[in-house]
Structure 1
Amino acid sequence: MNKGFEEGEVACCGGGSYRGDYSCGGKRGISEYEICENVSAYVFFDAAHPTQSAAQHFANLMWSGNSDFVHPYNLKQLFQF
């Protein structure tokens, strides 16, 4: 299950190194920030939150992922018991 995210180290929106300052949209008195053009290519939207694409991917893995991702059962298997 390779989602194909292009960027997993730098957040889509924020300031500072790796856009890790929680300042997207000028929050917390920090007026300088950058925002990416393609949010779905990123794992993190800002310093604290995954993008919608990443959250959906994680949810799919938890629901029906194999034992490489969830062990001993995924959520779908638990609901089938």
Structure 2
Amino acid sequence: MNQKQEKMETTALKTLEITIPTEYVSSIRKLIQGLGGKIQVRPKKKCGLDEAIEDIKAGRVSKDYTDIEELWKDLMA
């Protein structure tokens, strides 16, 4: 076994999350792949508030309740 193979077998892998401008993605991808790594692009997750605002804008909210009693009355009906 040569030195390079020994070094690769003992190298620990790390997972990093980075944010970069779109125009650098292809260069960074080539660099990472050249180093023997891999890249997984994940879509940005929306928080619950962002999803709720989208629901309101899209009209997926059917009724506004002024208080909890009004909500319960509607649910029990």
Question: Between Structure 1 and Structure 2, whose CA radius of gyration is higher?
Answer: 2
As a proportion of its length, which structure holds more strand? 1
Q: TM-score, normalised by structure 1?
A: 0.25
The TM-score, its normalising length taken from structure 2, stands at 0.26
